[in-house]
Amino acid sequence: MITRRLFLSAACAAPLLSLPACDGKTASRFASLAEAQAALDRLQTGGARQAGPISVHQMLVHCRQSLDYGLAGFPALKPDWFRASIGPAAAQAFLWQGRMYHDLADPIPGAPEIAAEGDLPAAFAAIRESIAAFETAVKTGRPLQPHFAYGDVAPADYARLQAFHIAQHVDAVT
Residue 1 lies in a domain: no
CA 82 remoteness from chain centre: 17
Instruction: Output the tens digit of pLDDT for each of the chain's 174 residues.
Output: 454 543 444 455 454 444 443 333 446 678 899 999 999 999 998 877 799 999 999 999 999 999 999 999 999 999 999 999 999 999 999 999 999 999 999 999 999 999 999 999 999 999 999 999 999 999 999 999 999 999 999 999 999 999 999 999 999 997
Task: Name the residue range of residue 49's domain.
Answer: 29-171
HSE toward the beta carbon, residue 31, CA cutoff 13 A: 0
SS3 of 50, please? strand
Residue 4 lies in a domain: no
- Residues 28 and 171 sit within 8 Å (Cβ to Cβ): yes
CA 173 remoteness from chain centre: 15
- Residues 60 and 122 sit within 8 Å (Cβ to Cβ): no
Q: How many whole angstroms separate alpha carbon 34 and alpha carbon 163?
A: 8
The pTM for the full model equals: 0.85
Residue 22 lies in a domain: no
Residue 36 lies in a domain: yes
Closest CA to 137 of 80, 62, 58, 73: 73
Residue 19 lies in a domain: no
Q: How many whole angstroms separate alpha carbon 29 and alpha carbon 103?
A: 18
In the chain, the number of structural domains is 1
Residue 74 lies in a domain: yes
